[in-house]
Amino acid sequence: MVSLVSASSSKGTWWKEGTAYQIYPASFKDSNGDGLGDIAGILSKVDYLKDLGVDIVWVSPMFESPQIDMGYDISNYEAVHAPYGTLEAMQALIDACHARGMKIILDLVINHTSAEHAWFKESRSSRDNPKRDWYIWKPPRHAEDGTRLPPTNWRSYFSGSTWEWDEHTQEYYLHLFAKEMPDLNWENKETRQAIYDSAMRFWLEKGVDGFRIDCVNMYSKRAGFLDAPIVDAAVFEQPAWSEYANGPRMHEFLREMNREVLDKYDTVTVGELPHTPDPQHVLRYVGSGDKQMSMVFQFDIVDIGQGASGKYRFQDWKLPQFKATVTKWQQFIEGTDGWTTSFCENHDQGRSVSRFASDAPEHREHSAKMLALMLTTLTGTLFIYQGQEIGMINVPKEWTIDQDYQDIESVNFFHNAIKVARQTMAGDQQAIQDEIDYIRRSIQILGRDNARTPMQWDDSNKSAGFTDRPEGGWMRTHDLYPEINVAKQQGDANSVLSFWKSMIRLRRSHKDLFVYGNFRIYEPGNEDTFVYAKTTVPAGEAAVGAGQAAVVVLNFTGKDQTVNLPSADEVGALRLQVGSYTDSAAAEDVDLAAGPGQQRTLRPWEGRLYMSL
Ligand code: GLC
Ligand code: CA
């Protein structure tokens, strides 16, 4: 019999057991009163992160950039965006993390550069420039009447075509995102070498401990550049990830990147992996002998509620879908040497309390703690996004797209949807208005700006202590900052922040169960509650010894719900370890050892964790 390596065979790895925390530099902390977060601001909060229990700090792009897409459009990998600080400031941040025993990773954005990058300026200067082939240039097509058409019908992530016409050299260049973000040509070996040097070695030599890799499966485009299938007949541009994601040379490129660069350092890599629903496929990236990354952010969890024909066309969902998603991406590594992540927020997503639970005033704290209980008990590396630890929520419904939202993706989507509605709804004013309201509502739930409002540190000023600038920060501060802020929660043992801290500590002291354990779900079809066990033994075996099982019960509704605990035969006798209500313990007066299959009643959005005796 072939014995597969189990996840626990490589226990003790820092990047598996460490808790990671993502910082979005623009919105974390402004140190110099210009309204924009900066590196000195991050430095001033390093002790806060340490105290929270963070082991790995992930800093979103702070490189030189014209900021068309908040720094994901990089014009020089080897320089820092001047308003954020300098290379010296970054070195100080790297050193400060290391001095506290923390690791630091950066964003590796190498599917594209900014159009302002020197490489692209050369590439577009003439057809015979030596760097012409560093980007993806194609001649036009022509319609029968001679009209010039782009090489394919691909839709960009930020609406409109992925192709931009270059008047000067009379060709189109490819951009999966904004037209100011041209895609690099990974087929060219010289380009790859330049990327490795400039974007990777440069920073690894300064001591960074790895990378979150942006758009990690988009470098290899499908050969031939064919039109994408039509799913939205109203418009020319079609979703085209089938043509550019997970292309034929993807695994080869990542193997090369490891061989030539990453393997020479003690690094962690976590890839952003959309459009990849098949676990066997994901395993090729993260394990099973052909390892290319430490782990990935598979997208099923953050795709919940997004529309199939357009991201901001919200689709209602039910709890079994959420549970099946968590279960799938917990279990897919069991019995393999692959690794997974526990996360549900980042800078591209609405806030989890608002999306997956309830941000109503009476429910939002309980919701935040319940979700924290879930995330800290799941297998894989835990990633927290700034503000999640205090239960920050989505922006209020009253905020307007034109004045308050900033994100290129949402703003473009909104205006494009209105344009299409006007063209296709033949003057039916009511239908057009309904469509606009629907998109606005969808963006309010799913929009990236929800995660990009300034961090709420205290109530010392109208910017929640994020900036001292009298007119406030670059982006509007959430109206609820007097109620949801760090200072208030630091002084409160029952706060969301205190709950996160204690759960991170508990996770660390029971790694076998929480970081490395096997996952079992109960009643997957139940639409109100989520009940699962983490065990140190394989599926199907009884986990009846002390410390062999943890059982998590979560109420995903605003009403009382009864849950059935797994039987004592299966997980042994249990005792309550922690509850998300301050009086959860008082609600427990039964010795579970007394009888199998006991029931408990959970209050709205309550979570409890039991451990085997
Ligand atoms: C990733 C980033 C996102 C960015 C895009 C283009 O999805 O997370 O913020 O817009 O890549 O770099
Ligand atoms: Ca600043």
> Could you tell me the residue ranges of all domains in the chain?
14-113+188-396+451-490, 118-174, 517-612
Considering the chain, what is the average pLDDT of its residues?
Answer: 95
- Contact (Cβ atoms closer than 8 angstroms) between residue 563 and residue 530: no
> How far from the centroid of its chain's Cα atoms is residue 55's Cα?
18
pLDDT over 80 (residue 251): yes
**pLDDT level of residue 250 (50, 70, 90 thresholds):** very high
> For residues 588 and 186, which has the higher predicted lDDT (pLDDT)?
186
> How far from the centroid of its chain's Cα atoms is residue 267's Cα?
20
What is the number of the ligand 1 atom nearest to the C-alpha of 158?
10
| Residue 67 CA to ligand 1 centre (angstroms) | 12
* pLDDT score recorded for residue 6: 43
- Please name the residue that has the structure tokens 């410390």: 547
Give the C-alpha separation, 471 to 213, whole Å: 35
For a mutational test of ligand 1's pocket, the pick from 214, 345, 385, 413, i.e. the residue with the most ligand atoms closer than 8 A to its C-beta, is 214
Alpha carbon separation from 396 to 358, 404, 418, 436, 478 (Å, rounded): 13, 10, 22, 17, 8
The CA angle 241-245-247, to the nearest 5 degrees, is 130
3-class SS string, 270-337: EEEECCCCCHHHHHHHHCCCCCCCCEEEECHHHHCCCCCCCCCCCCCCCHHHHHHHHHHHHHCCCCCC
Q: What fold is seen in the domain 14-113+188-396+451-490?
A: TIM Barrel (3.20.20)
Give the C-alpha separation, 64 to 74, whole Å: 6
- Please name the residue that has the structure tokens 């999640």: 388
Give the C-alpha separation, 134 to 186, whole Å: 8
**4-26 residues labelled b (16+ CB within 10 A) or e (exposed):** eebbeeeeeeebbbbbbbbbbbb
Give the C-alpha separation, 347 to 404, whole Å: 17
Q: What is the pLDDT averaged over residues 32-56?
A: 98
Residue 69 Cβ < 6 Å to ligand 1? yes
Q: What is the pLDDT averaged over residues 503-532?
A: 98
- End-to-end alpha carbon distance in the chain: 34
Nearest CA to 36 out of 6, 70, 8, 12 is that of 70
Q: What is the pLDDT averaged over residues 90-97?
A: 98
pLDDT over 50 (residue 262): yes
How is residue 117 written in tokens? Answer: 């990058």
Q: What is the pLDDT averaged over residues 435-443?
A: 98
* pLDDT score recorded for residue 2: 36
The secondary structure of residue 154, as a DSSP letter, is B
Question: Across the strands, what pairs with 601?
Answer: 562
pLDDT over 80 (residue 243): yes
Active-site residue (options: 38, 180, 243, 272): 272
Find all residues with CB under 8 Å of 549, minimum gap 6, and list them: 513, 533, 534, 535, 536, 543, 571, 572, 574, 611, 612
pLDDT over 70 (residue 352): yes
- Contact (Cβ atoms closer than 8 angstroms) between residue 268 and residue 210: yes
3-class SS string, 540-603: CCCCCCCCCEEEEEEECCCCCEEEECCCHHHHCCEEEEEECCCCCHHHCCCCHHHCCCCEEEEC
pLDDT over 60 (residue 464): yes
Residue 348 Cβ < 6 Å to ligand 1? yes
How is residue 355 written in tokens? Answer: 């999306």
pLDDT over 80 (residue 594): no
* pLDDT score recorded for residue 597: 67
Q: What fold is seen in the domain 118-174?
A: Oligo-1,6-glucosidase; domain 2 (3.90.400)
Residue 214 Cβ < 6 Å to ligand 1? yes
- Contact (Cβ atoms closer than 8 angstroms) between residue 606 and residue 557: no
pLDDT over 60 (residue 9): no
Find all residues with CB under 8 Å of 487, minimum gap 6, and list them: 457, 458, 459, 460, 465
- Contact (Cβ atoms closer than 8 angstroms) between residue 445 and residue 314: yes
- Please name the residue that has the structure tokens 């400039």: 198
**pLDDT level of residue 1 (50, 70, 90 thresholds):** very low
pLDDT over 90 (residue 5): no
How is residue 471 written in tokens? Answer: 């007119």
Phi, psi of 353 (to 5 degrees): -60, -40
Question: Across the strands, what pairs with 284?
Answer: none
- Alpha helices, DSSP H only, in 151-238? 189-195, 202-204
Phi, psi of 586 (to 5 degrees): -65, -25
* pLDDT score recorded for residue 317: 98
| Residue 475 CA to ligand 2 centre (angstroms) | 13
CATH 3.90.380.10 matches 517-612: no
For a mutational test of ligand 1's pocket, the pick from 177, 273, 347, 411, i.e. the residue with the most ligand atoms closer than 8 A to its C-beta, is 177
- Contact (Cβ atoms closer than 8 angstroms) between residue 502 and residue 369: no
pLDDT over 60 (residue 3): no
Give the C-alpha separation, 585 to 216, whole Å: 45
55: annotated active-site residue: no
- Contact (Cβ atoms closer than 8 angstroms) between residue 514 and residue 308: no
DSSP string, 425-448: TTT-HHHHHHHHHHHHHHHHHH-G
Report the percent of the chain where pLDDT is more than 90. Answer: 91
What is the number of the ligand 1 atom nearest to the C-alpha of 348?
9
What is the number of the ligand 1 atom nearest to the C-alpha of 409?
10
How is residue 141 written in tokens? Answer: 């097509």
- Contact (Cβ atoms closer than 8 angstroms) between residue 419 and residue 412: no
* pLDDT score recorded for residue 7: 42
Mind listing the pLDDT tens digit for each residue in 132-166? 999 999 999 999 999 999 999 999 999 999 999 99
**pLDDT level of residue 12 (50, 70, 90 thresholds):** confident
How is residue 507 written in tokens? Answer: 């996770």
Residue 58 Cβ < 6 Å to ligand 1? no
| Residue 346 CA to ligand 2 centre (angstroms) | 22
Give the C-alpha separation, 259 to 261, whole Å: 6
Active-site residue (options: 73, 214, 359, 570): 214
272: annotated active-site residue: yes
Mind listing the pLDDT tens digit for each residue in 274-309? 999 999 999 999 986 788 999 999 999 999 999 988
Mind listing the pLDDT tens digit for each residue in 104-134? 999 999 999 999 999 999 999 999 999 999 9
- Contact (Cβ atoms closer than 8 angstroms) between residue 531 and residue 558: no
Report the percent of the chain where pLDDT is more than 70. Answer: 97
Mind listing the pLDDT tens digit for each residue in 60-78? 999 999 999 999 999 999 9
**pLDDT level of residue 546 (50, 70, 90 thresholds):** confident
Q: How are strands ordered across the β-sheet holding 549-555?
A: 518-522, 529-535, 549-555, 607-612, 574-579
